[in-house]
């Protein structure tokens, strides 16, 4: 990552810090280090409001550079700051929603005379509006993601289970450059690369606030394919995370085994209509809840409200911000007054689960532009018969 880009990102954070009277940040969680330092290290980025960032690295041992210091433990940071002539901060932010309790307390203890606050919401706010380089990374990710999805029909063999189908698509994604790993904000939600759901497994209630969950194959990881055979007349939805460069592109597509009942095509078209309607409304200044409400109105009028975003347990959103994590701000959900801004990137995923058939619908990744919106994931949106 080029230094001017990192400087730009750090300055986005600094600008929000200044508004809250915060004069330094100590950043150590992986996604925030990718954002501010350009790569994952074991270490700490110290970001003062008015002077250059310093990076303190435990591992790896081969890095060097201006403002880079090798340390064994965080207790060395304070003396190094003093040696650099930096004052102790008056108000410091730590990643309070991400750092484990004991680690937060340990780091806060390094600054006994400093007010320490939770900086996670601020950093998430900064990250929610992407830079032009980040948007370009999403575009590239979307191209690779689409290239993998276009090959999906070649992997289908009659008699396959959803899990076997998932495995072949995971392989396609990896061959197109997917890093594989699926990063989620928050300690709880875990998923391997994503989900491939067919038939009634798509309506299986998830422990998480996912659009569609699936049972999975083991209670140790309850999500995704559950070894349901892919059967004539059933749909299968592929929703794998497109992490090709750190940025979590999100795209879902639906396939059918043979022809589906007519209702499935109707429901799928309703989801495409929701996408078209919502996207037509996207512009800077629109509130997230307006998009959600428009979607619900359309789905209700079409008679699918009870099967929209799940059946037994319905997700209460139609889309979510994406970035280095799959669940960034903003969230397209009821009662969310937050307004869209140029540079925000989100996934929009209207989906309907049809009992006895399976999931239909669509998911694409989008970036808010000055004028409206740009699609980041371009790939056939019809139900493709396998």
Using DSSP's 3-state secondary structure scheme, residue 351 falls into: strand
Residues 116-135 within binding reach of a second copy (CB under 8 A)? 118, 120
Greatest alpha-carbon pair distance for the chain in Å reads: 72
Binding flag, residue 201, a second copy (CB under 8 A): no
Buried-state track 117-138, b at ≥16 Cβ within 10 A, e below 16: bebbebbbebbbbbeeebbebb
21, 153, 258, 312: which one binds a second copy (CB under 8 A): 312
Shortest Cβ distance from residue 327 to a second copy (Å)? 14
CB 346 within 8 A of CB 293: no
60 contributes a contact to a second copy by CB under 8 A: yes
Minimum distance, C-beta of residue 375 to a second copy, in the bound complex (Å) = 23
Angle at 220 between CA 215 and CA 222, to 5 degrees: 20
Stretch that binds a second copy, among 122-130, 238-246, 288-296, 376-384 (CB under 8 A): 238-246
Q: Among 213, 319, 330, 361, which residue interacts with a second copy (rule: CB under 8 A)?
A: 213
Q: Per-residue x/- mask for a second copy, residues 139 to 178, rule CB under 8 A?
A: ------------------------xx--xx-xx--xx-x-
Residue 192 binding a second copy, by CB under 8 A: yes
Q: Note whether 98 binds a second copy by CB under 8 A.
A: yes
Distance in angstroms (rounded) separating the CA atoms of residues 283 and 182: 29
Q: Where are the alpha helices (DSSP H) in 183-322?
A: 262-281, 288-301
Return the ∠ at Cα 184 (arms to 178 and 185), rounded to 5°: 145
- Residue 115 sits in the site that holds a second copy (CB under 8 A): no
Residues 6+ apart with CB under 8 A from 30: 40, 183
- Closer residue to a second copy (CB): 198 or 206: 206
Binding residues for a second copy restricted to 327-386, rule: CB under 8 A: none
Distance CA 115, CA 230 (A): 57
Cα within 13 Å of Cα(355), Cβ side: 5
Measured from the CB atom, is 166 or 235 closer to a second copy?
166
Joined together, the tokens standing for residue 337 give: 């007054």
Nearer to a second copy, 96 or 284 (CB): 96
Give residues in contact with a second copy (CB under 8 A): 1, 29-30, 34, 38-43, 59-62, 94, 96-105, 118, 120, 163-164, 167-168, 170-171, 174-175, 177, 179-181, 183, 186-188, 190-193, 205-209, 213, 216-222, 243, 245-246, 312-313, 324
């Amino acid at each position: 990552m080029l230094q001017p880009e990192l400087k730009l990102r750090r300055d986005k954070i600094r600008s929000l810090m200044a508004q809250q009277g915060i004069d330094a940040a100590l950043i150590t969680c992986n996604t925030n280090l990718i954002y501010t330092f350009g790569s994952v290290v074991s270490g700490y980025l110290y970001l003062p409001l008015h002077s250059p960032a310093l990076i303190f690295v435990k591992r790896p041992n081969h890095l060097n550079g201006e403002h880079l210091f090798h340390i064994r433990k965080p207790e060395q940071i304070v003396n190094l700051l003093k040696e650099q002539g930096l004052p102790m901060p008056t108000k410091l932010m730590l990643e309070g929603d991400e750092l484990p309790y004991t680690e937060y307390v340990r780091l806060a203890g390094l600054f006994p005379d400093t007010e320490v606050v939770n900086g996670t919401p601020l950093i998430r706010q900064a990250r929610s509006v992407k830079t032009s380089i980040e948007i370009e990374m999403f575009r590239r990710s979307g191209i690779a993601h689409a290239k993998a999805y276009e090959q999906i029909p070649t992997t289908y063999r009659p008699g396959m289970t959803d899990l076997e189908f998932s495995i072949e698509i995971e392989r396609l994604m990896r061959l197109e450059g997917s890093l594989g790993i699926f990063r989620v904000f928050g300690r709880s939600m875990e998923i391997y690369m994503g989900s491939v759901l067919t038939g009634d497994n798509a309506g299986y209630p998830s422990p998480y606030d996912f659009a569609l969950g699936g049972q999975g194959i083991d209670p140790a990881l309850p999500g995704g394919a559950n070894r349901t055979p892919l059967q004539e007349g059933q749909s299968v939805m592929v929703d794998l995370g497109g992490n090709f460069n750190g940025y979590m592109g999100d795209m879902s597509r639906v396939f059918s085994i043979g022809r589906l009942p007519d209702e499935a095509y109707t429901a799928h078209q309703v989801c495409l209509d929701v996408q078209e309607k919502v996207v037509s409304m996207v512009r800077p200044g629109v509130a997230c809840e307006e998009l959600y409400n428009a979607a619900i109105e359309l789905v209700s009028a079409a008679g699918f409200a009870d099967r929209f975003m799940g059946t037994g347990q319905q997700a209460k959103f139609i889309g979510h911000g994406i970035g280095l994590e799959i669940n960034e701000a903003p969230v397209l959900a009821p009662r969310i007054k937050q307004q869209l801004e140029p540079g925000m990137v989100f996934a929009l995923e209207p989906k309907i689960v049809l009992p006895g058939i399976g999931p239909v619908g669509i998911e694409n990744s989008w970036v808010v532009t000055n004028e409206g919106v740009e699609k980041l994931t371009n790939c056939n949106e019809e139900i493709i018969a396998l």
